[in-house]
Amino acid sequence: MYEFLAYRVITGHLTCIPEKATKTKRLIPERLRPKVLEILAESGFDGDGQPLEKEAGQE
């Protein structure tokens, strides 16, 4: 279930960031956010599904 929610964040249907939530981009429930954020971070995305900046020297 967490992987599905992370996928929905990456595709722009959900968000983990309360300030970015809109009528069409719903907020993930607070109790589910930590695990979804962990999956997103492991996959290289932030809480809104945007790619994380790579550190200098990494490719």
pLDDT tens series, the chain, 59 aa: 999 999 999 999 999 999 999 999 999 999 999 999 999 999 999 999 999 987 555 55
**Does residue 51 lie in a domain region?**
no
Q: Which domain holds residue 32?
A: 2-43
**Does residue 33 lie in a domain region?**
yes
Q: CA dihedral in degrees (30, 33, 35, 39; nearest 10)? A: 170
**Does residue 59 lie in a domain region?**
no
CA angle 44-48-51, nearest 5°?
Answer: 30
Domain count of the fold of the chain: 1
**Does residue 56 lie in a domain region?**
no
**Does residue 8 lie in a domain region?**
yes
**Does residue 57 lie in a domain region?**
no
Predicted confidence at residue 54, as pLDDT, reads 72
